[in-house]
Chain A
Amino acid sequence: MDPLLTPVVQAAGEAHHLATSIEGYVYPNEQNLLWSVLIVVYPYITGLVAGAFIMASLVRVFNVKALTPVYRLALLTALAFLVCAPLPLLFHLGHPERSFQVMITPHTSSPMAMFGFVYAWYMMAVLLLELWCEYRRDLVVWSERERGLKGLLYRVITLGVRDISPAALHLDERMSRIITVIGIPSAFLLHGYVGFIFGSIKANPWWGNVLMPVIFIFSAMASGMALCVVLYKELCWFRRRAVDDACLDEMGKFLFYALLVDFTVEGLDWLHRLYAAEESISVLKQLAQGRLFNTLLVIQLCLGTLLPLLALGATQLMHGRIPVWFRQRIYYNSAFLILIGVLAMRWNVVIGGQLFSKSLRGFATFKMGLEGQEGWLLSAGLILLPFLVLGVLVWLFLPERPAGPDAKKTAAAPTAG
């Protein structure tokens, strides 16, 4: 072929490809979706962090004793997911090597520029500090008991503080509590901020919405708590330990309330959209009934919200009449559905918001590949990675053998291990 003609033919081929996937009119620059599945994974992971932390805070701040067995697991889950949270963002950037600029020259009017600070605050001032206070006593005990690399690691993490007198432990407890009190608004900040990234985009009527941070916070709580339910049951199964029924019942209760509030806020959002019926409502309705029908109405609404809401609601209303084993099945399955539902919600926000044109006159189609920067494989890997990290953390910090006979209550509790 004439080399001069090649670009023409390529352009024609591409035009044909684009034309088949476009319906109505979209601005020419909108024909390719910009934010792909990596940006779906990012808010999903941060949401799980925030939700797991809230679950842990129920023990510390709100004194929900029944949840003690899952306290440490929830904190470690939050840490494992937080460590992995920036990766999808980093992989998505056109110039990942310039990402440090967000930290050294942040543009103060940009919500995205706040990422580094919110993340650093949450990681260093909240989660790591709280974990350190919580584990300090055990670290000292373990560092004396364990040899080799593991022992060295425990010794390093004590940061040289080896005082485990009752007075010192009491202070640890108090500090943990204070940090958790600061941690709750911080967890809200972390995920509310992610919601604000979308909510602040007034150019996009699907995103630009004052309720967006609130929706993100409550869906995060539901997903994080659901993750704790699933992980707790799996860990008990893996270690052949009996599940603490009271703990699981309590988790089921809070999961139900979190999901109820999430459903209410999202319902309010839709009610407001339909009632206010602004310029964009027609295109948004078409989006919900067309391209997002499966992920929004079937997976997110019916499977991920209504079904678990009914099932969990039944366990609350008919608690005594449902046998324990069946209640636990309900909690586990509902939690699993909620996890899928919230992932679908992130998809609907991120991908859905780019499927219609800002001209409000047409739709684009999103086809995801298997490989590459924006393919299935990388994203699936990034969702699985925190579980691997968590596996290592559980091996290190949730040993099957408790730290010692004099271990304080939270440490000695079964904690599924």
Chain B
Amino acid sequence: MNPVMTRRRMLGALSGALGWIASRPAAHAAKAAVQNLLASSHAPKGYDPTKHKWLMCIDVERCIGCGLCVDACKRENHVPEASSFFRTWIERYVIKVPAAGGNDARGDVLVDSPNGGRDGFPPSAVPREEILKSFFVPKLCNLCEHSPCAQACPVGATFDSPDGAVLVDSTYCIGCGFCIQACPYGCRFLNPETKTAEKCSLCYHRITRGLRPACVEVCPTQARIFGDLKNPVENDPVQEFVRKNKVFTLKPHLGTEPRVLYANIDKEVR
């Protein structure tokens, strides 16, 4: 036995320890992959996410700003009651008449969303004769093909499901808020009760059981159109929507490639 601890031996031991620490992530990468597959979601047993591709379309001209969708979402998903937590909300855009003889084709833009539009909208403060046009824009998770939120999550608690939904495993979320900062659309929030990130899941517990999301279900004007690209039905509303309309996405310059498609939105909508 050699009792002398030389630096060579010391460094050898240290390197071994460091190597062991460094090998942990590799060992756990496998675990993370499994975890991603088995991540807890509200889907029933037997639901195969690879056999669906969900899509949401919004026809802005149909939205009347009644707020039923916001209310249904809050109730269905137990979203905190306060007026600063929404999985979906409605924005009202009021574009004013430009100054006569001025350089602008359109006047100032006023946007509001009182209580997320849940209680409908009071009459605009802008007098009727000063309004060039006004419309409502429902907002929700944009179901990004390249979702910056899932990219940013340090533990993989938020992830892209193969069926197109972007989900949060609240049992694994550490509540760092990085995904909330990374979402360009303001669609996420930190639930003050669970202290985890939360967002629209397309009512995953419903769509995986053959139902439609709550907001789509209650919309009286069919401004929200929901469908499955992999399983089109006869006279599929999504296919029809895409065929009949010029469709847009929000903030396309960011390269997130949203799969929430909008028809008839103006350039002012962000």
Binds B, one of A109-117, A180-188, A392-400: A109-117
- Is A177 an interface residue, CB under 8 A from the partner? no
- Is A321 an interface residue, CB under 8 A from the partner? no
Binary contact track B143-165/A, C-beta < 8 Å → 1, others 0: 00000100111111000000000
Whether A18 pairs with B83 at a CB distance below 8 angstroms is: yes
* A11-B81, A18-B83, A112-B178 known; A202-B187 Cβ under 8 A: no
For B177, the closest partner residue in chain A by CB is A34
- Is B218 an interface residue, CB under 8 A from the partner? no
Whether A171 pairs with B7 at a CB distance below 8 angstroms is: yes
Residues of chain A at interface, number, CB under 8 A: 63
Whether A113 pairs with B190 at a CB distance below 8 angstroms is: no
Q: How far is the CA of A104 from the CA of B30 in the complex (A)?
A: 11
Whether B177 pairs with A35 at a CB distance below 8 angstroms is: yes
Whether A35 pairs with B181 at a CB distance below 8 angstroms is: yes
Tell me the A residues contacting B by CB distance below 8 Å.
7, 10-11, 14-15, 18, 24-32, 34-35, 89, 92-96, 98-99, 101-113, 115, 117, 120, 124-125, 129, 159-161, 163, 168, 171, 197, 200-204, 207, 354, 357-361
Whether A98 pairs with B10 at a CB distance below 8 angstroms is: no
Q: Which interface residue of A34, A125, A168 has the most chain B CB atoms within 10 A?
A: A34
Whether B10 pairs with A159 at a CB distance below 8 angstroms is: yes
Chain A nearest Cβ from B268, distance in angstroms: 9
Chain A nearest Cβ from B21, distance in angstroms: 7
Whether B155 pairs with A106 at a CB distance below 8 angstroms is: yes
Whether A94 pairs with B21 at a CB distance below 8 angstroms is: no
Chain A nearest Cβ from B47, distance in angstroms: 24
Binary contact track B1-13/A, C-beta < 8 Å → 1, others 0: 0001111001000
Whether B5 pairs with A159 at a CB distance below 8 angstroms is: yes
Whether B176 pairs with A92 at a CB distance below 8 angstroms is: yes
* A105-B32, A203-B148 known; A360-B155 Cβ under 8 A: no
Whether A27 pairs with B186 at a CB distance below 8 angstroms is: yes
Q: How far is the CA of A98 from the CA of B112 in the complex (A)?
A: 38
The 8 closest A-B pairs by CB, nearest first: A94-B175, A27-B186, A94-B195, A203-B184, A160-B5, A113-B154, A25-B111, A112-B154
Q: How far is the CA of A361 from the CA of B110 in the complex (A)?
A: 9
Binds A, one of B49-57, B84-92, B126-134, B258-266: B84-92
Q: How far is the CA of A385 from the CA of B54 in the complex (A)?
A: 51
Q: Contacts of A359 on B, CB cut-off 8 Å?
A: 111, 186, 270
For A171, the closest partner residue in chain B by CB is B7
Q: Contacts of B183 on A, CB cut-off 8 Å?
A: 203
Q: How far is the CA of A315 from the CA of B85 in the complex (A)?
A: 54
Q: Contacts of B156 on A, CB cut-off 8 Å?
A: 105, 107
Binary contact track B229-270/A, C-beta < 8 Å → 1, others 0: 000000000000000000000000011000000000000001
Show 11 A/B contacts (Cβ-Cβ < 8 Å), sorted by A. A14-B83, A24-B111, A25-B110, A25-B113, A34-B177, A101-B155, A102-B174, A105-B31, A105-B35, A358-B184, A358-B186
Q: Contacts of B148 on A, CB cut-off 8 Å?
A: 201-203
Whether B152 pairs with A110 at a CB distance below 8 angstroms is: yes
Q: Contacts of B25 on A, CB cut-off 8 Å?
A: 103-104, 106, 117
Q: Contacts of A32 on B, CB cut-off 8 Å?
A: 84
